Chains A and B, each alone.
Chain A
Amino acid sequence: MGSTLPLFPEAASTQAGNVDLLYFFVVAVSAFFSVLIAALVISFAVKFRRRQPDEVGAPITGSLALELLWTIIPLMITMVLFVWGAWVFLDMARPPRGSMEIYVVGKQWMWKVQHPDGQREINELHVPAGRNIRLTIGSEDVIHSYYIPAFRQKIDAVPGKLTTMWFNATKPGEYHLFCAEYCGTKHSGMIGKIVVMEPDDFENWLSGGGGMSTSASGEKLFADLACNTCHLENSGGRGPVLGGVPGSLVQLADGSSVIADDNYLRESIMNPQAKIVAGYQPLMPTFQGLVTEEGLLQLISYIKSLPPASSQTSNGAGH
């Protein structure tokens, strides 16, 4: 039998305080209305209890003023909650620029992590305190959900696309990591820990591992899959030049345009016929089944590391 009875979770990120403050406000509003209703119901039920068997109640049909009152006040309160909740959410949903990028892949039943410098871990995530960390999350099989209660953060890992989460951990320590979306037999075993370290300790930890950086692994994969036979460093290849594409506006053959975010890059590798860049032929084969979800993240990391092509905008990334 557990000897402790915790009633409130630890708060260990810059966002956790915002969520808790909002939570306490909604608890206060709810407690107020619950107590109000309970007090009215109980006092009426006692005060107006039936005293004679054939007694009937007073014929009160209603009151427009009261109806308006208890429509408008709850409406105003919920609108305040909507705006406040949306404000907290949008902050949690949009990673700041310049965040440290870490790739996470969920699969039945483990979380695999790649740090930019090549460190890899399973079911653990080491991060430095006080830095904005952005996780780019994919799934190799079914839907999972990356959930760190102490940070009040959660995002689904959805096969076929990439999702992101960001946080800034405030307190060194170890925190729970859970899979929150039911994913089969060992769903409750798909857990781990988030290890928040002092920045110096984190540097030491990083240097302890090693191997190739994520983008270097991506570069190797880029060559192994022969991507470089079509995607040249400068124009003239059968495919677009990739340097500078991530984050830019890409003109498509059908006249529309799209921002080249992670999901666009992912789709262009797995399902290249979905969006054809203007000026190019639909020649590229799909790499579905040829590249793992981790390999995909390495490729994206490599493409992001490429310098913009020299003074060329004919690669389809022109504005």
Chain B
Amino acid sequence: MNSAHAPVASTTPPVNYLNATHGIKSWLLTKDHKRIALLYLVSITLFFGLGGLFAGLVRLELLTPQSDLLQPETYNKAFTLHGVVMVFFFLVPSIPAVLGNWLLPVMIGAKDLAFPRINLLSWYLYIIGGIMTLAAIVSGGVDTGWTFYPPYSTSSPTHVVLAGLGVFVAGFSSILTGLNFIVSVHRMRAPGLAWFRLPLFVWSHYATSLIMILGTPVVAITILLLAAERVFGLGIFDPARGGDPVLFQHLFWFYSHPAVYIMILPAMGVMSELVAAFSRKNVFGYSFVAFSSMGIAVLGFVVWGHHLFVSSQSAYMGLIFSILSMLVAIPSAVKVFNWTATLYKGSISWDAPMMYAIGFIGLFTIGGLTGVFLAVMGIDVHVHDTYFVVAHFHYIMVGGAIFGYLGGLHYWWPKITGKLYNEYWARASAFIIFVGFNLTFFPQFIVGYLGMPRRYAMYPPEFQVLNVMSTAGATVLAVGYTLPLIYFLYSLVKGAPAPANPWGAKGLEWTIPSPPPTENFLVTPVVTEPAYNYNPGREVEVAGR
């Protein structure tokens, strides 16, 4: 770590939230939001490894055009489980449940979230849902794709109900986290911490929480209806029983499109923090960035029909969803421009978290712009359900959400653990992940426009070169992901103690010791300035006024 500006003396307090109590029970029954965040950190890392394993199987199978390493049945289960595990058990909880849980109370100057017991309950629900899905995997897996489209999911001989109910239970974990965040932001802000003084991380988590509590119940109901159709033979989605399969797609995407914003909005919040801290500057257009989060959350609910342009949805309905999908691109563009403008006349350091932030801007720009291709109806007809779509959403979810998550994890690691990691390896891994990611997913745009459909175990031989590039990239990516696991764990044992504010950053979390005491603040802080006030001597107005 670049410690040029770090205080020399360590400020690690003898008693902190990590060592205040001991024993496995003190962790499994904890009500401390910071410890719950760490429970989530360990569990989502395990699920990330599992989801990555399935991704590895998919990429290895696609090295050759034939179905040779895996039989098609196994391949179909591998991509389904990759999707289910990564979406519901890694991406949705990743930033909110780990970084959000740890930081949101600290950033608003509170001792904990509004409902600490409900917070612990949400982790248990996540684990129960995860175990149910693991049970479905161990007992033979599920092969419907993470989208569970009927009537295939009604007739598939695999463990659809068990996996679906796992997702259902985990959904409640997400609802409870959202509820906790919203109540905490409304009721528990420190004195003087007006809404427009909140860090943008808090704004984006507030917007995310709205989606969680409004959208997740819809997918929960949809999965229950699907289970009822399979178990009791009700005719809801299966046309052979009088149901409508397209109805499922409407209900599913009513949640699952906003769910994309559950994954990306928190990463955008992390981005604003990183860009401000490593430019030592207030975020350009603070209120525009804050309101664009809310705009994305609201507009995100009215664009789901762009997943149905070729599904027999009426052409005129398609037109409405196309224009609404164009609109949701605008607040995302506003954010990218504002982050870029923040760098102007900043004091920019190239520490590892900032490398992730800069990578995020590049990859999210490509991911967002290729989303516009999909909203353009005339192009979507051709590329729908091809690798073009696969590449697009991986640029958003890996290039966006995972870059945000890793950037945030590196930025707050010294605060969370009280230890410094190896800056050289951290920069190296950020670079390796960036290269590996682009090598994996950029060729998929090309093979997608060539017409290769997704979810294919076998493909025509002319697509092989691009697939080999993709698999090679995935190998690089796997190395890049493994490095942080090693040097983070190493830092816990051998890392130098972290000072309270190793980056010289602004924000309430950097005013308390690393790691902080269980109650975060021994004295309730009083906030007298806007966020990111790096020039206290000079008058800074709240932007946008």
A residues near B (Cβ < 8 Å) are 1-2, 4-9, 18-19, 22-23, 26, 29-30, 33-34, 37-38, 40-41, 44-45, 48-51, 53-64, 66-67, 70-71, 74-75, 78-79, 81-82, 84-90, 92-94, 141-143, 145, 147, 149-150, 152-156, 158-161, 163, 176, 178-189, 271, 288
Contacts and interface: CB of A to CB of B under 8 A. Distances in A.
B525 to A, nearest CB: 21
Given A56-B281, A159-B151, A185-B76, A84 B143 contact: no
A92 B284 contact: no
Contact of A48 (B346, B365, B386, B542): B346
Contacts of B155: 141-142
B4 interface: yes
Contacts of A188: 67, 72, 453, 455-459
Contacts of A66: 285, 337, 341
A78 B329 contact: yes
Nearest to B446: A7
B285 A63 contact: yes
Nearest to A4: B462
A61 B76 contact: no
Nearest to B80: A182
B513 interface: no
Interface stretch (B211-219, B314-322, B486-494): B314-322
Given A158-B312, A188-B72, A143 B348 contact: no
A145 B381 contact: no
Interface of B: 4-5, 65, 67, 72-73, 76, 143-145, 149, 151-152, 155-156, 239-240, 242, 244-246, 279-282, 284-288, 309-312, 315, 318-319, 322-323, 326-327, 329-330, 333-334, 336-338, 340-341, 343-350, 358, 361-362, 365-366, 369-370, 372-373, 375-382, 384-386, 446, 449-451, 453-466, 468, 504, 534-535, 538, 540-544
B310 A156 contact: yes
B311 A158 contact: yes
B376 A142 contact: no
A48 B343 contact: yes
Contacts, number: 307
B282 to A, nearest CB: 6
Given A60-B281, A75-B330, A23 B152 contact: no
Nearest to B534: A56
A64 B145 CA distance: 45
B288 A67 contact: yes
The 8 closest A-B pairs by CB, nearest first: A149-B451, A160-B239, A88-B378, A57-B281, A85-B376, A62-B543, A89-B377, A57-B346
Contacts of A93: 315
B152 A143 contact: yes
Contacts of A149: 382, 450-451
